[in-house]
Amino acid sequence: MADDSQSLIFQTNKQTNKHYKLTLLPLHIHSFIFFFFFFFFLSSPLLLMDPFSPSPANFVPLSPVTFLKKSAAVYAARPSVIYGSRVFTWSETYGRSLHLASALVHHFHVSPGDVVAAMAPNVPELYELHFAVPMAGAIISPLNTKLDAPTLSLLLQQLHPKLIFLDSDFLPTVLQSLSQTYGNSIQFPALVLIPAHPDTPPSEFLDYNRVLGMRFDDFTPRTNAELDAISINCTSGSTGLHKGVVYSHRAAYLNSLATIFRSGICKNTSSPVFLWTVDMFRCNGWCFIWAMAALGGCNICLRNVTTDAIFTNIELHKVTLLCGPSTLLKMIYESSSFNNFKPWLSRRVDLIVAGALPINEILTKVTELGFNISYGYGMTEAMGPAMIRPWKPNFDEETVQFEDLITSLEIDVKDPLSMESVLGDGETLGEVMLRGNTLMSGYYKNLKATREAFSGDWYRTGDVGVRHKSGRIEMKDRAKDIVVRANGEVAVSTVQVEAVLMSHPSVAEAAVVGERLCGFVKLKNGSRASAEEIVKFCRTHLPEFMIPERVVFGDLPMNSVGKVQKFIAREKAKALNTNSTI
């Protein structure tokens, strides 16, 4: 038999020049001893520097789904969701979500990691799906209801959902997009209709209530690892193709709690009432879907956002907070100014908006109507607003308070090349960068874009901003959109110019591009305004170097969700005669 032992000759004493022979054990015995000592040392708490290890007693994976079960136990009979005449309690919302999750698993055979898409306005069913889908171990992907069929088709090719829940009003768009995506493929996803109205006629497709009846009574929700994906939210696609932004259970849990703190939703009440004027498909409703479950508050669903609906529901349900785009402010302002009625609120209500603020005249009027205005800065990759600040009519940088600096992430303005923080002088431009536990995991099926976004160990927003000596960060513009004058000394924020243009009572949409500041303006139906009038309005609210040199009326280049495609607008501006003004 061959000798499978090994010998190693080594020299231990150079003075005596003696050599020793060490005979090693056979390889399989050697390996056994190595692994024995390896696992012994790892498993012995006496030999480890940190003897503690996670156990079910001290470690539970973080997930916002747990908020619902807690509210069902603590606030069982308290209203959870109100939608017109439909009223649900937290016990009922939990039960319906649980039944839906069991149907997903046992009837539709949804597996962990599957994607379940949903296309619906702010209705109770979409709220429930944000809990039921992760209970089934799957990933919820709420879709923008403004998507057209071709764009939706591209997204569905990327997502490959196992099921699609959709409001019946969107059935034609979804069917058209599916025919473009799948054709006669056997991978055609199952469709479940959410009736848009009580009198919605029966369909060949399953409806939501019938799926609820397919429940499996002994169902136990699947456990998700906290870094598992809970949702995929799509970017607006203003710079090109839409990207799927993945949130983890952990990030969603932490951001939901951060949202409670950041928004101040409980500062005046322990029973908040949230009016759904921000779309649930936008960053899962800025995570308020889960935050409200954590608080056991009441959700007031709105299918269509109108000023009448806003004021009616505020008074009827004693709403404490509503959120949405900054265009809400102009809508509220115009309802009080031009409709010959004064919708004064009987109590003050918090209103958080995202986007560039309109002129002070609008902000002051909305404040007088009874709203406490705050404004946020964020993006889909940051799960909504990363920081929220109260609007103050006479803001002074010298009197910045703690509430002006509240944020759930580490935020800095850096030189994008050196990664050094820019001077805190309020003038030096840099790229706004974020870092923390409430950021996206990455872009769905797009590792290249994910690596680029997180290069340098920060999330690169692509926004230009400044740091003030108080510590406050101020966003100026998108890096691709900010205009630097020929002398290189003056940078113009197109966002600020557009905000002023949008504040004009006759303007419906506006975009500003180009070094000579070409303003593209779409007027409201039935409205009239000249270029001279628009420029005069701008001069009232902006310094001279920010006044558009040219105003062009007509439709703006928009994508399917209503976002201005500035790269197209820039090309149009170049094609214009740059030597002429207005």
pLDDT tens by residue, 219-231: 999 999 999 999 9
Give me Rg for the CA atoms of the chain.
29
- Write down the domain spans for the chain: 6-43, 65-408, 409-479, 483-575
**Equal CATH topology for 409-479 and 483-575:** no
Q: Give the number of other Cβ atoms within 10 Å of residue 435's Cβ.
A: 14
Looking at CATH, the fold of the domain delimited by 65-408 is given as Rossmann fold (3.40.50)
DSSP string across 434-448: EESTTS--EETT-HH
Phi, psi of 103 (to 5 degrees): -70, -40
> Strands 459-467 and 430-435: what pairing?
antiparallel
Block means of pLDDT (10 residues each) for the chain, 582 residues, are 37 39 41 39 45 86 97 97 97 98 96 97 98 98 94 92 96 92 72 88 87 91 96 79 93 96 90 97 97 98 96 96 96 76 80 94 94 94 93 70 64 95 93 96 96 96 91 88 71 91 93 89 92 94 92 88 84 71 48
Phi, psi of 235 (to 5 degrees): -70, 165
Specify the CATH number of the domain 483-575: 3.30.300.30
Q: 552 - beta bridge partners? A: 520
Strand 349-354 and strand 115-119: the pairing is unpaired
Coil, strand or helix at 30: helix
pLDDT of residue 515: 80
Residue 340 is predicted with a pLDDT of 52
Which strands form 79-83's sheet, in the order they lie side by side? 86-89, 79-83, 298-300, 273-275, 321-325, 349-354, 371-379, 384-390
Cα separation, 145 vs 85, in Å, equals 24
d(CA 482, CA 204): 51
Report which residue type is found at 93: T
Cα gap 495→476, rounded to integer Å: 7
pLDDT for the residue 401? 58
Q: Are 27 and 4 in contact (CB under 8 A)?
A: yes
- End-to-end Cα, the chain, rounded Å: 99
pLDDT of residue 322: 98
If you count them, how many residues does the chain have?
A: 582
Query: Using the 8-state DSSP alphabet, how is residue 549 labeled?
Result: S
Q: What pLDDT score does 560 carry?
A: 74
Reference 430, options 420, 410, 415; nearest CA is 415
Q: Residue 18: its pLDDT value, please?
A: 41
Nearest residue to 465 (alpha-carbon basis) of 477, 456, 453, 457: 477
Residue 518 pairs in a beta bridge with 513, 550
**CA–CA dist 548, 537 (Å, integer):** 11
> pLDDT value at position 470?
81
Q: Dihedral, CA atoms, 300, 301, 305, 307, nearest 10 degrees?
A: -20
Prediction pTM value: 0.86
- Give Cβ neighbours of residue 227 (< 8 Å, ≥ 6 apart): 248, 249, 250, 441
- Both tokens of 418, joined, read 């050196």
Kindly state the tokens that stand for 55: 């156990």
Burial 46-68 (b: 16+ CB within 10 A, else e): eeeeeeeeeeeeeeeebbbbbbb
H helices present in 122-248, as ranges: 124-135, 149-159, 171-181, 208-212
Instruction: Name the DSSP letter for residue 423.
Output: P
Torsion of CA 262, 117, 229, 325, to 10 degrees: -20
CATH classification code of 409-479: 2.30.38.10
Residue ranges of E strands in 415-537? 430-435, 442-443, 459-467, 473-478, 483-484, 491-492, 507-513, 518-523
Give just the sign of the alpha carbon dihedral 302, 308, 314, 317. Answer: negative
Which stretches within 107-148 are classed as H helix?
A: 124-135
Distance, CA of 367 to CA of 373 (rounded, Å): 7
- φ, ψ (nearest 5 deg) of residue 226: -70, -20
Identify the bridge partners of residue 89 per DSSP, sorted by sequence position. 79
Residue 86 corresponds to which tokens in the numbers above? Answer: 């439909």
Based on the number of CB atoms within 10 Å of its own CB, is 81 exposed (0-12), middle (13-18) or buried (19 or more)?
A: buried
